[in-house]
Structure 1
């Protein structure tokens, strides 16, 4: 057994660079496929099993492999951590279509656990390159290799990490008097996943309703992120200000990019907070407050070196409309550089004289 084990580990060590390269290659592909599918994800990670870990696995009682380097499913492992539980099945189906499915472990799915059992939930399957991809020159060297894919949510990942830290991998590991507490905790994690999913869907529905209301000219709606986003897209005076800024050498982001995920900061949230602070509760009240001529303010505040998105432009107009409700301290606390805060407030004061 020792000689066989040594030869397997030696063979694995020799090919470890290939396995590691394969892990990185698959990770990058999965990352790219998630972006193409416009799926938000927390992270994608991949690794090739270390020789030490493989040695330990081969020495476990009850484990026997006729051909370890072919039979062990997780010599290469890829883990994808997503935000929402319905994405696990959706992305799992997509990736199974991109690769060839060898096998699937159902023990970590909800139907794999009885009502009185705890455990971490995720999708586990073993995949290898589909024929069409293995024929590509950049993938041909990995033909025949496989990897274990794990798909789970952030909360499922947290549960797995904590239970692993407690060394509770299965029911029998847990002292009997602690099992009820663990069952309750597992239920809370599952419930939280369901609640986050419902919150996401409710937020999307609220955004659609706000967009329809603003398009129809209904202004008596509460001011929040959804209604403000719709307002930004529809309010014509804002486009006039953008044109004025562009004439002065500043090129704000296109209106279609207002909610671009690459934006470094969400100024809409800041605007909502300031409006709540100064008593602006509806889109109608905001529109009334902003019904001013901002030509002078733009002239005083414009700095050609600035790079301003549409959200930030609306932020500036809010300040210009009620400069007495803002201060350098308030703006720096909100993230403004002190010099910019002073410039904006001075421009707002000049424009009102």
Structure 2
């Protein structure tokens, strides 16, 4: 073992840890600026045991700690495999890449062998960043950046847990199972990309239909989200409700699923159905929402508020507390007789 390198590691471990933390923050900012969706970005500093094992395995290779390029490490996990190259492009533009130690395991892997397709960059900071006070302490430090998709990461983690790093170590009878699994995970990556692209295409088509003709647009989470985003009727009604209670609106995409369920429970089938009722009953919906929400402690209102009170308004037309309570129960809340009675009372007062 090289005691000199180990002692150097103990002295400089803290600076490598700070280096990793700083680069993690920088990489996150770069991903956000470039609109890259990622599952996670993590960092680690190589621990003593791992370093000692490496020095033992490669006892004649290293003469200085700075020659070991993975003391600090960042791992970027993307949702899709085609995002790996997009991330790689950003990394290569923003950092000084050590091409000698950078490995694209996707190219190194033979098509008839199992493994995970990961990209490993070894980088250092460019001079323009090293000249900044917050980075100048990291001169000559290198860091490994691993980029992989969730599926590729799944393979790597399971492979690590099984303890087999190469084909040689795998019993022949089990090797075929590895091949099959590797192929399945690669297929999963491709299928997710196809689904994503189809959804994006569906959204673009829907956006045009919702802007021009809502007649044939069925209600689902995608179409309803776009309708809320682009409908002038919804926007005006929401703003009027917010102003009446001096509230603020919050975007709550997690409520879209339940709102779709509520609208379908009432009997709405298309976006056009909703739009007609909003236009026809906007004053009544506003009156109902204003008189209920004015007594609410919270002044944060979701962007789906107009649609919820459209449902309440249509139920009040039936003059049935039981029906209102059933609607409330069906959508996961405890039925409240007094609340339902109040809704109908406000509705009747408005209709006089």
Query: TM-score w.r.t. structure 1 length?
Result: 0.86
1:292-325, Cα deviation, whole Å (9 max, x unpaired) = 2313312331236330121244233334333636
Give the C-alpha shift of residue 19 in structure 1: 0.7
Per-residue deviation at 1:77? 0.7
| Aligned counterpart for 2:4 among listed residues 3, 7, 20 | 7
- Counterpart of 1:295 in structure 2 is 286
Give distance in 2, aligned partners of 1:295 and 1:107. 59
Partner residue, 2:320? none
**Selected match of 1:166 from 158, 162, 166:** 162
Q: Which residue is 2:319 aligned to? A: none
Root mean square deviation, CA, Å: 2.4
Q: Structure 2: where are the runs of 5+ without partners?
A: 317-322
Aligned match of 2:344: 349
Q: Give the one of 181, 193, 196 matched to 1:197.
A: 193
2:28 to 26, 31, 56: 31
1:148-297 maps to which residues of 2 (within 5 A)? 148-253=144-249, 258=251, 263=252, 265-290=253-278, 291-292=280-281, 293-297=284-288
Superposition map of 1:84-95 within 5 A: 84-95=80-91
CA distance in 1 between partners of 2:234 and 2:207 (Å) = 17
Counterpart CA distance in 1 for 2:91 and 2:109 is: 24
Q: 1:295 to 1:280 in 2, by over 3 A?
A: closer
Aligned match of 1:49: 46
Distance 2:338 2:16 in 1: 56
Map 1:57-76 → 2, pairs under 5 A: 57-60=54-57, 64-76=60-72
Label 1:277 to 1:46 Cα distance change in 2 as closer, same or farther (>3 A).
same
Conservation of the 8 A alpha-carbon contact between 1:300 and 1:347: no
Q: Which is further off, 303-312 or 41-50?
A: 303-312
In the alignment of these two chains, the number of paired residues is 335
Q: Distance in 1 between matches of 2:160 and 2:312?
A: 51
SS in structure 2 at match of 1:148: strand
Partner of 1:144 in structure 2?
Answer: 140
Query: Unmatched 5+ residue regions in structure 1?
Result: none
SS in 2 for 1:85: coil
Greater shift, 342-351 or 161-170, is seen at 342-351
**Kept in 2: contact 1:134–1:140 (CA 8 A):** yes
Is structure 2 residue 114 aligned with structure 1 residue 118?
A: yes
